[in-house]
């Protein structure tokens, strides 16, 4: 049996990835997480002195904190298996990536273990986040200079 | 079960249906004519679904809420409204904001009787709105 | 390459231990001991992993009435952690002649083949062979941190926390005996998805099983059971489809079973089933050995499969080379 024949058998038997189902699940769970985030936003606006411009920080911090607790309890992993991108894309997914790496490497000590590995997964998010932010800002600057849009 | 899901699904559409007319409330201690002007300006703006206006001393604070899909051009809406209102009240110091915090707080101030308190609160809100982080 | 063991070395005693999650396993009642703490009350996962190996060896010595470590001639074992430190550390405590073996998840069988060879040579009276894996330390080695919420596809498998070891010695007609073994070659059909090990390893299993049957001049039906190591539910289906294409009938295909596919029963949360060096080892050296002893099976072929990848190799875009080793065990 050659490679091509085998590939055929394998493709036949391997169940296809249920993209549609995954998208729906990601949409619902991701939407739910964002709704919770919005509720927290309103909570901070109404009960504390935050405006829409300044409320982002405490809201993100709260979401990160909640995801941290869930990760520690091993629940975020289960949510991730169900929701996929729905739980990975919001800031809670970033928190999960950071905290899970920290827990994992605790046994190698604080400096080389936790410190050295905490951004093992989240590091690329930061790198590409900063890089893409730079380019988006550059494009906007050019457009503003040309007078196409305003700041 | 299916019926309930359908009902839940439809609720948002009914809610949208209610907000055809802009809700504008004005707090003014003295002049009724002044009220009319600012109410008109807000009502004539197509991008806004609700607004509060408060006159105190020589100041006018207007807090509006942009329609859901127009949230992204809030600062433009603020600028436009400010220009229009300033035309009508050249003597007043006009402050316009589309921030929900200001809308929420002005809602409370509408019922406030004590002028001193209103004035203090306004100063505080203006300061808050200027904060960036 | 088939090796025929003329002296028929016997499996004298077996020891299988497992972690807390493995209580869900359908083979749970066959294990010798299950520990409540995944880390065996140690500080790190890797230390717990080493403790698990030691415990399995202690169980074997108790069963075989061996009181002195030094009565054991050889210790042949392997695991999946970098440089196999858990095995090396367990060997330090055991303090007997030791060779670390690595054929990934096929180590359970490759070590038994080497132990049988040493016994056949007359160099060994008692040799302990087997392998183990610990979920947390293997997952971090090959994939993401344990608590990371990534979505695994249906083809993914769950690394077990388990160890299975066998004491191999001189032939005893009352015990299961190893009559032949096949050392497989490395087969690579170009699978690159590390979440589809079953698909990567099935060709290796197919190659080893069919060459064993051919060289031994046997048919599938000569066996009561042909059990692969950790192909998983999907990998087993692929293997059966490959044999079906070469003309095997349904009753022949029913002889095939897979330890990984059955390990956690029908529980969907483990996706395609179990995997890891401890998966095949703990099933072979508990359930299968006991079934042979009771006489339910007379002749079985155990074919453990191993994916020879590292995180480095698949990140660099290499496909996954796989191997499979097989031993034929009979009971008189």
Query: Residue A79 has what pLDDT?
Result: 95
CATH entry, B24-127, from 1.10.340.30, 3.40.120.10, 1.10.1040.10, 3.30.70.1350: 3.30.70.1350
**Distance from chain centroid for Cα B10:** 28
Query: Residue B32 has what pLDDT?
Result: 64
Q: Count CB neighbours of A150 within 10 A.
A: 10
Query: Residue B110 has what pLDDT?
Result: 84
Is the pLDDT confidence value at C288 over 90?
A: yes
CATH of domain C177-330: 3.40.47.40
In this structure, of B36-45, C45-54, C147-156, C257-266, the range with the lowest mean pLDDT score is B36-45
A46, A49, A54: residue with CB nearest B133: A54
In this structure, of A61-75, B23-37, C129-143, C150-164, the range with the lowest mean pLDDT score is B23-37
Is the pLDDT confidence value at B19 over 90?
A: no
| Bridge partner list, C329 | C178, C300
Q: Reduce the DSSP state of residue C329 to 3 states and report it.
A: strand
Residues on chain B bordering chain A, Cβ-to-Cβ distance under 8 angstroms? 76, 99-102, 104, 124, 128-129, 131-133
Give percent of chain C with pLDDT exceeding 70. 100
Give pLDDT tens digits for B47-99: 888 888 888 878 888 899 988 888 788 888 888 889 988 888 888 888 899 89
- The ipTM is 0.88
Return the sign of the alpha-carbon dihedral for residues C218, C223, C227, C231.
positive
Return the sign of the alpha-carbon dihedral for residues A69, A71, A75, A79.
positive
B132–A54 CB contact, under 8 Å: yes
Mean pLDDT of A116-145: 94
Is the pLDDT confidence value at B15 over 60?
A: no
Report the b/e string of C59-97 with b at 16+ CB within 10 A.
bbbeebebeeeeebbbbbbbbbbeebbbbbbbbeebebe
Q: Backbone phi, then psi, for A150, in 5-degree steps?
A: -110, 165
Sequence spans of domains, chain B: 24-127
C146, C153, C269: residue with CB nearest A17: C153
Query: Residue B18 has what pLDDT?
Result: 46
Antiparallel, parallel or unpaired: β C158-159 and C177-182: unpaired
Query: Residue B112 has what pLDDT?
Result: 77
C near A: at least 3 beta-carbon pairs less than 8 Å apart: yes
Q: Is the whole-model pTM more than 0.90?
A: no
Q: What residues of B are in contact with residue A42 (Cβ under 8 Å)? A: 100
Q: Alpha-carbon distance C169 to C112, whole Å?
A: 11
Give pLDDT tens digits for C55-92: 999 999 999 999 998 999 999 999 999 999 999 999 99
Token pair for C59: 């169980």
Q: What residues of A are in contact with residue B9 (Cβ under 8 Å)? A: none
Q: Which class is C2-169 in CATH?
A: alpha beta
- CA distances (Å), C316 to each of A123, B34, C199, in order? 19, 72, 20
Q: Where in chain C is the domain with CATH 3.40.47.40?
A: 2-169, 177-330
DSSP C116-185: HHHHHHTS-SEEEEEEEE-HHHHHHHHSS-TT--PPPPTT--EE--EEEEEEEES--TTS-EEEEEEPPP
Is the pLDDT confidence value at B14 over 80?
A: no
Is the pLDDT confidence value at C7 over 70?
A: yes
Contact C129, C115 (CB under 8 A): yes
Is the pLDDT confidence value at C283 over 60?
A: yes
A52–B132 CB contact, under 8 Å: no
Give pLDDT tens digits for B92-119: 888 899 899 999 998 888 887 787 888 8
Provide the mean pLDDT of chain A: 93
More confident residue, C212 or B32: C212
């Amino acid at each position: 049996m050659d490679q091509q024949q085998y590939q055929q058998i394998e493709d036949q038997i391997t169940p296809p990835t249920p993209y549609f189902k995954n998208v729906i699940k990601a949409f619902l769970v991701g939407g739910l997480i964002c709704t919770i985030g919005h509720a927290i936003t309103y909570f901070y606006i109404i009960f504390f002195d935050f405006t829409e411009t300044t409320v982002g920080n405490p809201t993100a911090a709260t979401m990160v904190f909640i995801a941290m607790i869930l990760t520690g309890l091993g629940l975020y992993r289960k949510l991730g298996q169900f929701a996929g991108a729905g739980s990975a894309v919001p800031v809670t997914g970033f928190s999960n990536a950071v905290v899970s790496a920290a827990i994992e490497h605790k046994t190698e000590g604080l400096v080389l273990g936790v410190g050295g590995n905490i951004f093992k997964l989240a590091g690329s998010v930061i790198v590409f986040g900063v890089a893409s932010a730079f380019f988006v800002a550059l494009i906007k600057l050019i457009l503003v200079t040309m007078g196409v849009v305003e700041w | 079960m299916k019926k309930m899901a359908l009902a839940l699904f439809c609720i948002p559409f009914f809610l949208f249906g209610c907000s055809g007319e802009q809700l504008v409330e004005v707090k003014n201690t003295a002049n009724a004519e002044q009220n009319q002007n600012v109410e008109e300006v807000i009502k004539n703006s197509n991008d806004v679904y609700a607004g509060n206006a408060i006159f105190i001393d020589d100041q006018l604070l207007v807090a509006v809420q942009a329609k859901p899909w127009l949230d992204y051009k809030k600062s433009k809406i603020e600028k436009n409204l400010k220009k229009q209102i300033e035309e009508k009240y050249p003597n007043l110091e006009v402050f316009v904001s589309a921030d929900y915090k200001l809308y929420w707080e002005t809602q409370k101030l509408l019922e406030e009787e004590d002028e001193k308190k209103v004035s203090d609160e306004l100063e505080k809100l203006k300061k808050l709105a200027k904060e960036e982080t | 390459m088939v090796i025929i063991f003329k002296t028929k070395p016997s499996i004298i005693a077996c020891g299988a231990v497992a972690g807390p999650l493995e209580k869900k396993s359908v083979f749970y009642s066959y294990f010798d001991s299950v520990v409540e703490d995944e880390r065996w009350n140690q500080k790190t996962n890797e230390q717990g992993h080493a403790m698990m190996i030691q415990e399995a060896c202690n169980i074997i010595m108790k069963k075989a009435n061996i009181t002195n470590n030094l009565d054991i001639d050889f210790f042949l074992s392997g695991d999946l952690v970098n440089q196999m430190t858990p095995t090396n550390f367990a060997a330090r405590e055991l303090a007997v002649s030791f060779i670390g073996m690595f054929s990934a998840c096929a180590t359970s069988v490759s070590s038994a083949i080497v132990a049988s060879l040493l016994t056949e040579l007359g160099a060994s009276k008692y040799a302990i062979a087997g392998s183990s894996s610990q979920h947390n330390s293997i997952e971090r080695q090959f994939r993401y941190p344990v608590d990371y919420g990534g979505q695994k596809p249906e083809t993914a498998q769950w690394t077990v926390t388990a160890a299975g070891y066998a004491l191999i010695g001189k032939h005893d007609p009352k015990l299961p005996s190893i009559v032949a073994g096949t050392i497989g070659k490395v087969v690579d059909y170009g699978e690159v998805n590390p979440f589809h090990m079953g698909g990567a390893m099935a060709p290796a299993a197919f190659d080893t099983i069919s060459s064993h049957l051919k060289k031994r001049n046997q048919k599938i039906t000569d066996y009561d059971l042909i059990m692969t190591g950790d192909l998983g539910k999907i990998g087993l289906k692929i293997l059966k489809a490959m044999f079906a294409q070469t003309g095997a009938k349904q009753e022949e295909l029913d002889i095939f079973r897979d330890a990984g596919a059955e390990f956690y029963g029908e529980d969907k949360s483990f996706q395609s089933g179990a995997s890891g060096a401890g998966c095949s080892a703990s099933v072979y050296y508990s359930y299968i050995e006991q079934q042979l002893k009771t006489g339910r099976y007379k002749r079985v072929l155990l074919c453990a499969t191993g994916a020879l990848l590292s995180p480095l190799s698949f990140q660099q875009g290499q496909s996954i080379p796989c191997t499979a080793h097989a031993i034929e065990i009979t009971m008189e």
